């Protein structure tokens, strides 16, 4: 794997942790259905570099909801607009269609920033592998 590919993989992992943690702290499960969070849901798709690592356009989801998005995007887009407004959705569309290039230094800086965000787990949350569940013992 190339240096860039390795950095992007590391960044994906840190962003995924952050998104799942933030989503769980707000919704206590998948943002769409409440099930355990297993995936990082990209409203514009991972291939869109302009939004791939932007927290405003990511949310934690269960695998069935993440997979369902490929079949029918409309309910998820409607959820996004209801939750965040039309203006942010319009920005998502614009940014997702704008080419973005990151230097190796940019990728390293983003890894450091997301790693720092992930240092402390919010109280009342424990992780089981890749799933986030409420800690009922606290």
Predicted local distance difference test score (pLDDT) of residue 45: 82
The model's pLDDT over 78-130, given as tens digits with 9 standing for 90+, comes to 999 999 999 999 999 999 999 888 999 999 999 999 998 888 665 544 444 44
Please indicate, yes or no, if residue 90 is contained in any of the structural domains. Answer: yes
Domain that holds residue 65: 3-132
Dump pLDDT digits (tens) for 21-63. 999 989 999 999 999 999 999 988 888 888 899 988 999 999 9
What are the residues whose beta carbons fall under 8 Å from the beta carbon of 114, sequence distance 6 or more?
11, 14, 15, 17, 18, 53
C-alpha 73, offset from chain centre: 17
Flag whether 104 is in a domain. Answer: yes
Q: Report yes or no on 52 lying in a domain.
A: yes
Domain total for the chain?
1
Is residue 14 assigned to a domain? yes
Domain contains 25: yes
Phi and psi dihedrals of 125, rounded to 5? -125, 135
């Amino acid at each position: 794997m190339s240096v860039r590919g390795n950095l992007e993989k590391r960044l994906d992992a840190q962003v995924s942790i952050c998104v799942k943690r933030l989503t769980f702290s707000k919704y206590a499960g998948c943002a769409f259905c409440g099930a355990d969070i297993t995936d990082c849901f990209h409203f514009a798709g991972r291939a869109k570099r302009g939004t791939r690592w932007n927290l405003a356009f990511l949310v934690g989801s269960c695998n069935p909801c993440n997979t369902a998005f490929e079949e029918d995007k409309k309910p998820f887009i409607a959820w996004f607009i209801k939750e965040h407004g039309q203006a942010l959705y319009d920005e998502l569309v614009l940014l997702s269609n704008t080419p973005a290039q990151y230097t190796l230094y940019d990728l390293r800086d983003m890894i450091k920033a997301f790693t720092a965000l992930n240092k402390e787990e919010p109280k009342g949350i424990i992780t089981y592998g890749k799933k986030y569940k409420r800690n009922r013992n606290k």
